[in-house]
Structure 1
Amino acid sequence: MASVSRLSLGIALALGTASVVAIAPADAKKAPYTGPSFTKEERASLAALEAALAARNYSAANAALTTAQSAARGADARYQLAGLQLRLGRETNNTALQGAAVDDLLASGRIPVAEQAPLYATQGVLASFAGKRERAETALARAFELAPSPDAAIALARVKLDLRKNAEAVALIDRAIELQAASGQKAPEAWYRRGLTLATMNAMAPQAIKFSRALVAAYPNATNWRDAVLLYRDYAKPDAATTLDATRLQRLSKALAGERDYMEAAQAFGSANLPAEAQSVFQEGVNDRMVDPAKATFKEAIATSKKNATSAKAKLAAARTAAASAATGTAALDAGDQYLSFGDYAAAADLYRIALQKGGIDPNVGNTRLGIALALAGQRPDADAAFRTVGGPRADLAALWLIWLSQRA
């Protein structure tokens, strides 16, 4: 006949790490608790069930379970029976047995609060499988409350989605990513993408932008960078100058995809009177075999950008001289843009500093461009400082630039 300690061990194995050995009932203060007590019939039926489980004789175990259910009358016996029933349910993939056993164990009041989370998680998952979504939500919420973990957050988020509580699901996915990071591990890319998709579908702009930034920070590839920049543009509705800097970021992160992207980027720089930058975009497209220079549309546009770049280059020195003597920083900002366009990043940075010093310009524009010039000049700490001063409508774009800067070799 199995001893009490062996029966307790059986429940411990069924529950994993949860402690179930000789837990005093809630009303133990009324009388000293001396350990589990069984009648002769209870002890015999529980021992038979445990022996069948040990032998993996599940037909005998099911028969023994029925006998034990009839014999178990005391609280101790019902508690031990619930643990063995849970083990049988798990080993035979019988979710009905598992669910009833978990319910009984939680109702017993004998599982320490610190060890209840796995049981509530099991209860929630089983309820979800059974289509009982509200019950699943309650159980999984309790499991997450007791033991916050990335997997618990994701499990609860799935149920929230089933209940069409999308905003709560988005918050839980965000929390799961945070918990994963706190454990020193990177969350799966699918979590970021799921959060981003849900936030986008539910018009949750701040959350969508946050997920897109987190996605490119964790998984910096061309596809994710393109999505992040385009999503920023869709939600922020930036002005022409800010859109230009977003296009620069898309280009520098190698996120221009296909001839349309290259044409639109080149046209944007051309419209901003930055033909050298338009010319370099076309050249990159040709080098990357994304642009066919023999195609009529591109052939004409490339020729125009080259001609205009030659004309603009002849005016660089005069623009720098005019910027030095101007009363405000507008001329210096424009001259800095030209030098940036031609790839003279050190000169561009000097001019942007002059523009910021003289004033009369939007300092957020000036500091964004200064950060870009310094980054491309290899002055990473100074670039970081410039981007961090950017606020207002450009703050989200500056945050993306900072991520890009952190990923430069």
Structure 2
Amino acid sequence: MPLFTNRPRKASRLAIAAALMSVGALGVTAYETPAFAQKAPKYSKDFIKAFAPINEDLGKENPDYASLRDRMTAPEVRESVKSDDDRLAYGGALYNLGRQLEDLNLQRTGIELMLNSGKVTEADLPQYTFVAGTIAYDLNDYAAARTYLEKAASLGYKADTAQSLIAQAAALENNEAGSIGYFDTLIQQNIDAGTKPAKELLQQAVRTAYQSEQYEPSTKYSILLARYYPDAVTWGDAVNIQRNFKKYGDEETLDLMRLLRAADALDSGAEYEKYIEVAGVRQLPGEVLAVTQEGLAAGLISRDVSFVANALSEATNRSEIVREDLSALASEARASGATAKRATLAGDAHFSLDRFAEAAELYQLALTRSDVDRETVLTRLGIAQVMAGDYANAQETFAKVQGERQGITRLWSAYAEQRAQG
């Protein structure tokens, strides 16, 4: 629906009135032609003589637009344009004809003539400038697009699409730093105002940062996307960005697979099989059994695959043995002189059988011992706290993690925050 309606005009020998619409890549709301100069336009005699017959034909029902393009772009018509009012009227006609013919170059010529006329009203100038930017963007002239779009924003054009197009144009100019800066500004403005950034904006930010191989903004934007729009796709993307940038080993990958499972984002047989592999049927048979059963129920893995069949069989047998040994494992971990490794293994065993509170207690015990793998155990403690519903303490735990595991715990911390908010 148009946001502005045509305003009544005083009589003149030319009446150029047709809808002005931006045609940017993102699809923008239609605008009707804004007011021309408040005073009656003063067209040059040559322009009236050359353009009046064309204008009359433009107003007819079902005009021959292709023929009109040839007539309107003829040298004698172009050369008749002398005054600013001529430029405004001629530019408007060219723009609208370009829309009818889906001719972006004609649209660009038209809108630039109108802007250069100096006759576009102050109220409408931001919109016209934005239109010029979107057309330049569609014509792959990203430098010009960014110039127009930045000017539109400086003139007060508020649509989110302006800033996101600026960022995309900067990225396509190979100005990744500038592009990320635009995304940062716009997203933070939304957050500061208490509004949720648009999903499309966050997706564009993730895509731009990832394609330019920037780890930190890729992580930040993917976490924001999963936080504000949680589903299997957004959580899956956030996890895969970590995996692709960092090339984690099995222990780190396991904790990312656990997040996918918690977020209901395991959505392929390859992911289920990877989870089974990194968990290890001998190390965490209870968890392997549960994951294998879930994958089979979802129809994403099959017993006909020997790897899956073997994992299911061995995990079924071994998980019962571990379940019977849980008390003994915990006692050994608490014994005087026991190592951090023993407490960690006992915690892992409890975790794999969904004994999350007990697992958290054993991980905390491991942290008191000198031989502890601190970052791994802190990560596992935080995950156990999340799974036990202790979200506030989980976030405090994740904040203590340093080094390469920070990318993992930032994701888990966002998930804990999400769970805490219901």
TM-score by length of 1: 0.73
> Any idea what the Cα deviations from partners look like across 1:46-103, whole Å, max 9, x if unmatched?
xx89x969977898xx999999999987xxxx44444444443454446777645644
Residue number among 268, 289, 296 corresponding to 2:299 in the alignment: 289
Give the equivalent residue in structure 2 for 1:241. Answer: 251
Q: How does 1:43-54 map to 2 (within 5 A)?
A: none
For 1:117, the equivalent position in structure 2 comes to 126
SS of alignment partner, residue 415 of structure 2: helix
For the residues of structure 1 that align with 2:43 and 2:229, how far apart are their CA atoms? 62
TM superposition shift of 1:150: 2.1
Alignment CA distance shift 1:41-1:402 (3 Å)? same
Query: Following TM superposition, by how much is the alpha carbon of 1:267 offset from its aligned partner in structure 2, in angstroms?
Result: 2.6
1:335 is aligned, of 343, 346, 356, to 346
Assess if the C-alpha contact under 8 Å between 1:150 and 1:179 holds in 2: no
Question: Which blocks of at least 5 consecutive residues in structure 1 are unaligned?
Answer: 23-34
1:217 corresponds in structure 2 to: 227
- Are the counterparts in 2 of residues 12 and 18 from structure 1 also a CA contact under 8 Å? no
Give the share of equivalent positions with the same residue, in percent. 23
Query: Residue 398 of structure 1: CA displacement?
Result: 1.3
Show the counterpart of 2:26.
none
Q: Distance in 2 between matches of 1:195 and 1:166?
A: 11
Aligned partners of 1:40 and 1:81: how far apart in 2?
A: 7
Which stretch has the larger CA shift, 147-156 or 12-21? 12-21
Structure 1 residues 151 and 180, CA, compared in 2 at 3 Å: closer, same or farther? Answer: farther
Alignment-mate amino acid for residue 398 of structure 2: F
Amino acid at match of 2:253: T
Contact 1:85–1:97, Cα closer than 8 Å, also in 2: no
* CA distance 1:272–1:382, shift in 2 (3 Å): farther
Distance apart, 1:161 and its partner CA:
5.4
Greater shift in the superposed pair: 114-123 or 228-237: 114-123
Alpha carbons of structure 1 residues 39 and 93: separation in structure 2 relative to 1, 3 Å: closer
1:280 aligns with 2:290: yes
Distance 1:255 1:237 in 2: 20
Q: CA deviation at 1:317?
A: 1.6
Specify the code of the residue in structure 2 equivalent to 1:88. A
CA contact (8 A) 1:270 1:278 kept: yes
1:218-367 equivalence runs, <5 A: 218-270=228-280, 273-293=283-303, 295-327=305-337, 329-358=340-369, 360-367=371-378
Cα displacement string for residues 77-136 of structure 1 (whole angstroms, at most 9, x for unaligned residues): x44444444443454446777645644554455667776332322333344556655433
Residue 143 of structure 2 corresponds to residue 138 of structure 1: no
Q: Is the 8 A contact 2:94 2:106 kept in 1?
A: yes
Secondary structure at the counterpart of residue 314 of structure 1: helix
Amino acid at match of 1:309: S
Distance 1:404 1:131, change over 3 A: closer
Task: Tell me if structure 1 keeps the 8 A contact 2:37–2:119.
Answer: no
Alignment-mate amino acid for residue 220 of structure 1: P
Corresponding residue pairs, total: 390
One-letter amino acid of the structure 1 residue matched with residue 295 of structure 2? G
In 2, the alpha carbon distance for the partners of 1:41 and 1:197 equals 53
Higher alpha-carbon deviation: 345-354 or 335-344: 345-354
Query: Radius of gyration: which is bigger?
Result: 1
- The code of the aligned residue for 1:325 comes to A
Q: Give the letter for the 2:93 counterpart.
A: L
| Matching residue's letter, 1:371 | G
Q: Which residues of 2 match residues 118-197 of structure 1 at below 5 A? A: 118-128=127-137, 132-146=141-155, 147=157, 149-160=159-170, 163-165=173-175, 168-169=178-179, 172=182, 184-189=195-200, 191-197=201-207
Are 2:97 and 1:88 equivalent residues in the alignment?
Answer: no
Aligned counterpart, 1:30: none
SS at match of 1:372: helix
Counterpart of 1:396, as a letter, is G
* Aligned-residue offset at 1:151: 0.9
Distance of 1:97 and 1:227 partners within structure 2: 40
Q: What is the distance in 2 between the residues matched to 1:363 and 1:18?
A: 65
Number of the residue aligned with 2:382:
371
Is 2:202–2:224's contact at 8 Å kept on the other side of the alignment?
yes
Structure 1 residue 232 displacement after superposition: 0.8
Q: Is the 8 A contact 1:88 1:97 kept in 2?
A: no
Aligned-residue CA RMSD in angstroms? 4.6
Cα distance in 1 between the residues matched to 2:161 and 2:57:
30
Question: Could you tell me how far apart the structure 1 residues matched to 2:79 and 2:305 are?
Answer: 85
Q: Which moved more, 1:100-109 or 1:119-128?
A: 100-109
- The alpha carbon displacement at 1:183 in A equals 8.1
Question: Secondary structure of the residue that 2:261 maps to in structure 1?
Answer: helix
Match of 1:391 in 2: 402
The answer as to whether partners of 2:340 and 2:366 remain within 8 angstroms in 1 is yes
Greater per-residue helix proportion: 1
* 1:155 maps to amino acid: L
1:403 aligns to 2:408 (yes or no): no
Shift of 1:227: 3.1
- The verdict on how the C-alpha distance between 1:11 and 1:83 changes in structure 2, with shifts beyond 3 A counting, is farther
